[in-house]
A and B are shown apart, each in its own frame.
Chain A
Amino acid sequence: MNENRREFIRKTGLGVLAGLGVASGIFHKSSFETVLASTEHEDEAKGTRLGMVIDTRKCKEGCTKCIDACHEVHNVPQFDNSKDEIKWIWKDPYKNVFPGESEQFLSEETKNRSYLALCNHCDKPPCVRACPTKATFKRGWDGIVTMDYHRCIGCRFCMAACPYGARSFNWRDPRPAIDKINQAYPTRERGVVEKCNFCSERLSQGLKPACVAECPEGALTFGDLNDPHSEVRDLLKNNHTLQRKSELGTRPSVFYII
């Protein structure tokens, strides 16, 4: 067999394998087409990609207004043990929110502050890849990673797949642990997973996400990351920002100004 033919067969063989993998959704098409480093983002500026920029310098220590607002509008139960705990947005120290980022000789200020953590609405969400029922899915029109609580079987594969600990499971009936039920948003049942939904229910009414709206410091900015003229893009252009664990290739849509 001559070299060319061998090469041809090798390439088509690989191509067919890769094609099958991509067609079934196991691999990303881009994994085979680009030579970008994992942390780079090729411009797939198609359609809308909603995202958030958190200016952690403005976020006040001890303030929990955004967290309270979110948990209130979404009927998130309050359990006082970490085992049953459900949370959509919370605060943690630098080393927990940004493991892997340099911690050596960190400024006292950076070290002592706490940082907001929530679902990153990843552009390449591993939770969506893992879910066996499409109960977790990414909305094609705005990039929000959201859930169908009525389809979820509670296998918790998505929790193992999310590298940010963004997901919670209803280990017990949540309703008795909800202070005041908000009729505008459904409560969940025992046995399903839940997480931040970027307030898709408020967005459809033209409102901002609850956390963004409630922050008195203006630390949270929300908008379309694919729109070069949006407020979020403006912040990204003018500030150095971090994404959590960007090396994992999940492409978080939540950015942090430290």
Chain B
Amino acid sequence: MIEKALTGDRRYWGWIVLLLVIISAGVYSYLNQLTTGLTLTGMGRDVSWGVYIAQFTFLVGVAASAVMVVLPYYLHDYKAFGKIVIIGEFLAIAATIMCILFIVVDVGRPDRILNVMLYPTPNSMLFWDATVLNGYLLLNIVSGWTVLGAERKGVPPPKWVKPVIFLSIPWAFSIHTVTAFLYAGLPGRHLWLTAVLAPRFLASAFAAGPAILILVSYILKKTAGFDAGKEAINKLSVIMTYAAILNFFLLGMEFFTAFYSNIPGHMHGLQYLFFGLHGEGQLVPWMWLSMIVGLGSVLVLLIPKLRTSMPWLIAACIGIVSSIWIDKGVGLIIGGFVPTPLEKIVGYMPNINEILITIGVWSIGILILTVLLKIAVAVKMQDQLKA
């Protein structure tokens, strides 16, 4: 099937070359980081995780959100998702690979990363996270590829693939739950030490993921003439709306618990993020941007007339993705470290090398997604031509 990715028009190749150029800049920056050390990032003794781990967290959500198309299609036989389900699975593959890459670029000794598997440590949530992520990647590659392969030959998919797909459903929930456990089980990091962290992760994932799916489908329609179907897009936008509302509801819970209880430690993280603490509030504008854009998008989505109009829907999707990206990708990680365990306010600003690596990893993911979707669309269109 892979040969289908090797034929394309000039636009396709132009896009591939562009991605490759950005990736080389990322690889170059990574080599810099390898030789000089992680001092080439904005991270430091106090804010010891930054933009890499933030992207990781966000992307685990994107990967998990494939379940929002897989579950209705395979479990409830919801036919309208017939064409979009493969896009979801391939998005999950690309996102999971990016997650793994973001961990690799974040660790100080990538040459020793296999120690996680060589000395399995069940009491560490990171061990479990590595296990479930790799498993999830495998499940999606196997199910996505097999089903598409069968479709190309015009035969029904083999029977054994069904259980694999069913397994991938609870597995999707597990990856984001375990990722939340990385943070939610640490004593003394008040912003993270909350039982609703995993539910919030899932809610925000099921909002941002479908939003990205809608955007990808839109691009595919414009560039490749592949239409996922109006009903599928409508359904996804409804899922996204409810998930986004749930996400904001859970955020509200955090505010209530922290501020009504009036316990300083519980308030400090949110205070720092949204209002500034001791006169310092590096992230305040970002968090409010996230809040306003997110709530604005929810408002748009709640009005059926706007939700079903393509330009509004696209705008709302971009809004939801950016809002959640800021909230989960910037606020959550930095807010967990500041104030520090010694109650100090420490700033964090990613530097250029770190940003280039980050964009590089994203480009690798987008390249993988492009190639996979090129194949998927070619197979699907061959059906359409025959039909």
Select the residue from B112, B113, B264 with max chain A CB neighbours within 10 A.
B112
Q: Which of B5-13, B152-160, B180-188 contacts A (4 or more CB under 8 A)?
A: B180-188
- In the complex, which of the residues B45, B112, B122, B186 contacts A160, with contact meaning CB atoms closer than 8 Å? B186
- With a CB–CB cut-off of 8 A, which chain A residues contact B106? 155-156
Chain B residues closer than 8 Å to A213, beta-carbon distance: none
CA separation between A5 and B174, bound complex, in Å?
A: 32
Could you tell me the distance between the alpha carbons of A104 and B264 in the complex, rounded to whole angstroms?
A: 14
- Given A83-B45, A157-B182: A190 touches B342 (CB 8 Å cut-off): no
Residue ID in chain B nearest A28 by CB atoms: B123
**Quick one: closest B residue to A160, CB to CB?**
B186
Q: Are A165 and B186 in contact (CB under 8 A)?
A: no
A interface secondary structure, majority: loop
Contact A160 to B107, CB < 8 A, known contacts A95-B343, A165-B342, A171-B44: no
Interface size on A, residues (CB 8 A): 52
Instruction: Bin the interface of chain B by size.
Output: 35 or more
Residue from A133, A156, A190 in contact with B115 in the complex, judged by beta carbons closer than 8 Å: A133
With A132-B116, A169-B45 in contact, do A126 and B187 touch (Cβ < 8 Å)? Answer: yes
Q: Mark B1-39, 1 if CB is under 8 A from A, else 0.
A: 000000000000000000000000000000000001111
Residues of A within 8 A of B331 (CB): none
**Quick check: is B336 within 8 A (CB to CB) of the other chain?**
yes
Q: Is the CB of B340 closer than 8 A to any CB of chain A?
A: yes
Q: How far is the CB of B347 from chain A (nearest CB, A)?
A: 10
Q: Assess whether A154 is in contact with B107, with CB atoms less than 8 Å apart.
A: yes
Q: Are B124 and A173 neighbours in the complex by a CB distance under 8 Å?
A: no
Asked whether B39 lies within 8 Å of A83 as measured between CB atoms, the reply is: yes
Q: Nearest chain-A residue to B344 (Cβ)?
A: A96
* Chain B residues, Cβ within 8 Å of A170: 37, 108
Chain B's nearest CB lies how many Å from the CB of A132? 4
Decide if B342 touches A25 in the complex (CB within 8 Å): no
Q: How far is the CB of B210 from chain A (nearest CB, A)?
A: 30
Q: Which residues of B contact A92 (CB under 8 A)?
A: 342
For the complex, give the distance between the alpha carbons of A192 and B112 in Å: 11
Asked if A171 meets B124 with Cβ closer than 8 Å, knowing A160-B48, A249-B187, the reply is no
Interface-central residue, A100, A117, A153, A169, by most chain B CB under 10 Å: A153
Q: Which residue of chain B has the shortest Cβ distance to A130 in the bound complex?
A: B124
Q: Do B119 and A165 have beta carbons less than 8 Å apart?
A: no
Inter-subunit contact B122/A165 (CB<8 Å): no
Complex-state Cα separation, A157 to B119, whole angstroms: 16
A258 at interface, CB cutoff 8 A: no
9-residue interface stretch from B75-83, B125-133, B135-143, B240-248: B125-133
Known: A84-B44, A159-B48. A133 touches B38 (CB 8 A): no
CB <8 Å contact, B342 and A156: no
For residue A26, CB closer than 8 A to chain B, the reply is yes
* Interface residue from A24, A83, A154 paired with B122 (Cβ < 8 Å): A24
- Which 4 pairs from chain A and chain B are nearest by CB? A154-B108, A163-B188, A191-B108, A83-B44
- Name A residues whose Cβ lies closer than 8 Å to a Cβ of B: 24-26, 82-86, 92, 95-97, 99-100, 117, 126, 129-135, 151-157, 159-165, 168-173, 189-193, 245, 248-250
